[in-house]
Chain A
Amino acid sequence: GQQVMQIPQYQHVQEGEDFTTYCNSSTTLSNIQWYKQRPGGHPVFLIQLVKSGEVKKQKRLTFQFGEAKKNSSLHITATQTTDVGTYFCADENSGGSNYKLTFGKGTLLTVNP
């Protein structure tokens, strides 16, 4: 079935450094959603990318969707301690009555102050 791979699994940075997590699929993605889960918390929706080559920004976060819709990335500029958490990408199977999300394993980001 549909699989979404994320790399790296873990990333430790010094505060102020940049961070990028990558999401890849062997098949074309319907659309990509990104979620953040703080330690002990639940996934919180960040953004959805739908169009090929789409780029969206939220303050220090930049999200990209690949031209072939088989990969996506999340880049954080100048990380802060509040960025700590696990970042998940998820593909939405938007066909018929099926709207389930298929999540990657996530990238755990830790930030050293």
Chain B
Amino acid sequence: DTGVSQDPRHKITKRGQNVTFRCDPISEHNRLYWYRQTLGQGPEFLTYFQNEAQLEKSRLLSDRFSAERPKGSFSTLEIQRTEQGDSAMYLCASSSPNSGDGDTQYFGPGTRLTVL
């Protein structure tokens, strides 16, 4: 258990519905990342927060995707009007430059999204 938690662990939805995922990072970590992983691929970077500021977004993050980290602690990732191509594992990771472990990113268990 790395300390990063994600909810829900699994989500099945119909095409066109909106979904929201939550990530709770390790408590002292100020950096939070979202990645997406499909079968047979490595995780792909989506977006990155330092505290509450969203500092980078990948081109993979279309305008249907939005992420927030309002108080610099937990984060949410929302996908609007889901498409079948959104089916993937959504991974959250957190890190801290002050943790003494070289700003290592610790991953949560992921939310597996299936869009029917």
A and B form one complex? yes
Instruction: Give the size of the chain A interface in residues (CB under 8 angstroms).
Output: 19
> A residues within 8 A CB of B107?
42-44
B100-116 residues with Cβ-Cβ distance < 8 A to A are 102-110
CA distance A44 to B2 in the complex (A): 9
Q: CB-nearest residue of chain A relative to B58?
A: A100
- A99 engages B43 (CB within 8 Å): no
- A94-113 interface bits toward B, Cβ cutoff 8 Å, 1 = contact, 0 = none: 00011111111110000000
- A72-113 interface bits toward B, Cβ cutoff 8 Å, 1 = contact, 0 = none: 000000000000000010100000011111111110000000
- B42 engages A42 (CB within 8 Å): no
Residue B73, interface by CB 8 Å? no
- A99 engages B40 (CB within 8 Å): no
- A27-65 interface bits toward B, Cβ cutoff 8 Å, 1 = contact, 0 = none: 000000100000001111100100000000000000000
| Residues of A participating in the B interface, judged by any CB pair closer than 8 Å | 33, 41-45, 48, 88, 90, 97-106
